[in-house]
Each structure stands twice: as C-alpha cells, then as structure tokens.
A = this chain, B = another copy of it.
Amino acid sequence: MERVTATYLIETPLPVDQAAATLAGEQSSGTFVPVPGETEALKQRFAARVERIEPLESVTTPSLPTGRSPASRYHRARVTVSWSTENFGRNLPTLVSTLQGNLYELAQFSGLRLLDFTVPASFASAFRGPAFGIAGTRRLTGVEGRPLIGTIIKPSIGLPPERTAAMVRELAGAGIDFVKDDELLADPPHSRFDDRVDAVMRVIDEHAQRTGRKVMFAFNLTDEFDAMQRHYDKLVAAGATCAMVSINSVGLVAVKKLADRGQLPIHAHRNGWGMLNRAPMLGMEFAAYQKLWRLAGVDQLHVNGIANKFWEPDDSVVAAIASCLATEPLGRPLLPVVSSGQWGGQAPETWRRTRTVDLLYQAGGGIQAHPDGPAAGVRALQQWWEAAVAGLSVEEAAATYPLLAKSLAKFGGT
C-alpha cells in the first residue's frame, strides 16, 4: 500500500525520537496501556511509521503549556511520519483527523505544527481538485498576461442590493476584473442573497453586452447546507461566474460538496485562518492548509499580501503564493488571492519575490478611495503591475506614471 507522509515541527521535553514514536502511536493504535488483540502483525500493517527526524535547537521555555512540571530543556525537531492509505481509505476528513487529531493536545509536546503533507497519486486520484483554478478564472474573465484586478464592496455590511449593484456598475465602468462580497455579508434581511444576485448580475450583464467583458463577482453563499445549495443554483441560473465561501466557518465536507458541482469557481475566503496559524509552534503552515482545500476543490484562495495590514510577515506570504502555484497533488495550481491593505505600491515587491502575474490582486480602499475615483484606482493598479513587471521600483514607477505618483502620495504612508 502507498503511504501518506506528514512533516511536523515538534517541541518536546522528551528525547525527540521518543516523542516522535508517541506521535506515531497516538495517530494509529494509541492508548495508554497495551491491550490484548493489538498483535504484532496488525501493528506492522497499520502503525504510523516515523520516517525521518531532523533535530533542531533546544529552548528553555515551553512554547505551549504542557500541564506538567517544567523541564530544563525543550527539544525541537522536524519529524516526518507516514501512514498506509489503507488506514483511512479515500476519506478527506478522516485524513485530517489522522494528520492532526489529538496530536495538539498531547502533554508530551510543548509545540506541534503540521508543516506539510504529501498524498500518493492513488489517493489524489479520488479527488478532482480545482475545476477552474487559474486557467478557468482567466477564461471566464478574459484577462491574460497580467494579474486580475479585484476589489471588495465596502462598507462590508449594510448596503441594500441596489446600492451594491450601483457600486458594481461604477467599478465595471472603471475596468475592474473581479469584485467580491465581504465575508460578513451573506444573506441578511437587508441584502437577501437572491436579490443581490439579481441586482448585481443585471449590471454585470449590461456591462458585458456593451463591452464584451464579464466582471467576475464572487457572491458569498456561506450559509447552512441547503441554503448554500439553493444559492449555488441561483448563481448558475443567473449566469454568475463565481461562488465565495468562508471555508473555515463552513468546513471541509460541505465546501467539497459545493466544489464537486463544478459549475462555478470557488473563491475560498480563509477568515479564521489566524487561529490555526498564528502561534508559531501550534496549528499548521499554509502549505498543508492549501493542500487540504485543494483536495476539496477550491479554485481561488486568500494569501494576504506583501506589507499587509495583518500580522503576517512577507516571507510567509511569498511562501503561501508559491504553495498555491505548485501543481501537486492534482496537476493544477490554485489562484492566489492577494489582499489586505493592498493599494498597488506593493506590486514591485510582490513581483520581485514571486515572479508571477498569476494572481488575483485585490484592493479595497486602494481602488475605491483613490483621489481621482475608482476608474483611476483600477488604472493605477494595472499600471503598478506594468511597472512592476518592467522591473521598476516604487519610486521609479511613480516617476514614470503620473497616476502612480498620486497613488503613492495618497496611500504610501499607510
């Protein structure tokens, strides 16, 4: 049988090989005393196997509480463990329970973080993965050779559908490629999902008939199960081209069920992600996270951006973009959604560090609060990217394009 492997960063007061064996035991046959029936043959076949241990530094303070007496040293290591796919079959949530499960609660660890995992082709083949991804999103929007420029409707909450549609009309006129709902807006009384779809699609269709360009609007269909299915039906019937979902709030199984329908790209909003990632010795790296959601079939996934308004360092954002652009395990990349405090001036550094234009580059205030209006905001973002790909720095770009000088003056200090 082929094997799934997972690599963890661990921190433990125990010798690291003993801690690694505990990890493997807990995630296969584990109990606190050996019991009859747990034969050697069964153990061989189903036991998780420690494949590799790479010792790292030791520290004197535990990263997480252990509920035990203090130790003098806590040893860190990178540990790779494997399981036969026979253990769980092609069952994505049970793969998650196997990779993570109770591990985060073990007193033997003062830190445990899932860094990455790999699945064999025989496992991956049960999943379609992103039905649209980068190529499908480009096809639907007609944008090639540059990042898609996107924005979000603000205020996040409170606008009635006709006001939302009026903003979409202005943004479409401004040349925007992509617009999304806020994650806080789904189907509230003041903006029912169906009404919003009707109002916005009317505007988008009119614009498409006039210009041949169909703006992609990611409608937030996050809701209870049946409501999400109805919302999806509504989007398909209305000719919409994208469904947005708050993936952590909804959960893996219901998101996969939506993505399996395959009629619309899934714009995956990762709100809540900080809870899984921000403590450095707990949770998981984005590399592992995006792989789970890729197996579930999302197409566009949020990654923050360079110099974002959140806590995330640029190195982490760059790594997240790279992991979306990787094609494994399903042969197709995810479209990274760059957002959070983006106004365009981050384009040169984003390009320098990623060398890709396969991005959905999103700015909120950066477009809508542009001193010369949203059309200038969109044009500025396109120019920032032209300048970036031409190898210009922020200062060189501002010296070359008058619009960018204005943009820099307005947003450069934030």
The chain A residues found within 8 Å of chain B, CB to CB, are 27-38, 42-43, 45-46, 64-68, 86-89, 91-94, 96-98, 100-107, 152, 154-159, 163, 167, 183-184, 186-190, 222-228, 246, 248-257, 271-276, 278-280, 282-284, 304, 309-313, 340-341, 364-365, 368-369, 411, 414
Contact A157 B94 (CB under 8 A): no
Contact B369 A107 (CB under 8 A): no
- Partner of A188 from B89, B190, B255, B364 at Cβ < 8 Å: B89
Contact B159 A42 (CB under 8 A): yes
- Partner of A273 from B28, B104, B224 at Cβ < 8 Å: B104
Contact A31 B365 (CB under 8 A): yes
Closest to A279 in B: B279
- Chief secondary structure at chain A's binding surface: loop
Closest CB-CB distance, A312 to chain B, in whole Å?
6
- Partner of A257 from B37, B89, B225, B283 at Cβ < 8 Å: B225
- Can you list 12 contacts pairing A with B, beta carbon distance less than 8 Å? A34-B365, A42-B159, A66-B311, A67-B311, A68-B311, A86-B188, A92-B224, A93-B251, A96-B249, A105-B274, A105-B278, A250-B251
Contact B311 A29 (CB under 8 A): no
How many identical subunits does the complex contain?
2
Closest CB-CB distance, A220 to chain B, in whole Å?
8
CA–CA, A246 and B1, complex, Å: 25
Please name all residues of chain B whose beta carbon is closer than 8 Å to the beta carbon of A157 when the two chains form the complex: 28-29, 46, 87
Contact A97 B271 (CB under 8 A): yes
Closest CB-CB distance, A151 to chain B, in whole Å?
10
CA–CA, A278 and B280, complex, Å: 12
CA–CA, A187 and B183, complex, Å: 34
CA–CA, A248 and B278, complex, Å: 18
Closest CB-CB distance, A131 to chain B, in whole Å?
16
Please name all residues of chain B whose beta carbon is closer than 8 Å to the beta carbon of A253 when the two chains form the complex: 223-225, 228, 250-251, 253-254
Closest CB-CB distance, A249 to chain B, in whole Å?
4
Contact A97 B184 (CB under 8 A): yes
Please name all residues of chain B whose beta carbon is closer than 8 Å to the beta carbon of A228 when the two chains form the complex: 253
Contact A311 B28 (CB under 8 A): no
CA–CA, A411 and B31, complex, Å: 13
